[in-house]
Amino acid sequence: MAQPRKTKPASRIDDALIDQLLAGRPQGPGLFKEDGLIGELKKRLAERMLAAELDVHLADPDQVAAGNHRNGTSAKTVQFAEERVVLDIPRDRHGQFDPTLIPKYARRFPGFDDKIVALYARGMSTRDIQAHVRELYGIEVSPALVSAITDSVLAEVSAWQQRPLEPTYAVVFFDALRVKIRDEGLVQTKSVYLAIGITCAGQKEVLGLWLEQTEGAKFWLRVMTDLKGRGVQDVLIAVVDGLKGFPEAITAIFPDTLVQTCIVHLLRYSLDFASWKERKALAAALKPIYTALNAEAAAAALEAFAAGPWGERYPPIAASWRRNWAQVVPFFAFSPAVRRIIYTTNAIESLHSQVRKAIRNKGHFPSDEAAMKLIFLALKQAEAKWKRPPVAWQQAKAQFAIQFGDRFQVAA
pLDDT digits (tens, 9 = 90+) for 305-319: 999 999 999 999 999
The arithmetic mean of pLDDT across residues 345-372, rounded, is: 74
The Cα 411–Cα 343 span in angstroms is: 25
Q: At 118, is the pLDDT very low, low, confident or very high (cuts 50, 70, 90)? A: low
The arithmetic mean of pLDDT across residues 193-215, rounded, is: 84
pLDDT of residue 63: 87
Bridge-partner residues for 86, per DSSP? 77
Closest alpha carbon to 343 in 328, 354, 326, 325:
328
pLDDT digits (tens, 9 = 90+) for 105-114: 666 555 555 6
Sequence ranges of the domains in the chain: 32-154, 167-406
pLDDT of residue 234: 93
pLDDT of residue 147: 72
Alpha helix (H) ranges present in 237-294?
246-253, 263-271, 276-290
- Contact (CB, 8 A) for 238 and 257: yes
Taking 70 as the threshold, does the pLDDT of residue 84 lie above it? no
Taking 80 as the threshold, does the pLDDT of residue 15 lie above it? no
pTM reported for the whole predicted model: 0.64
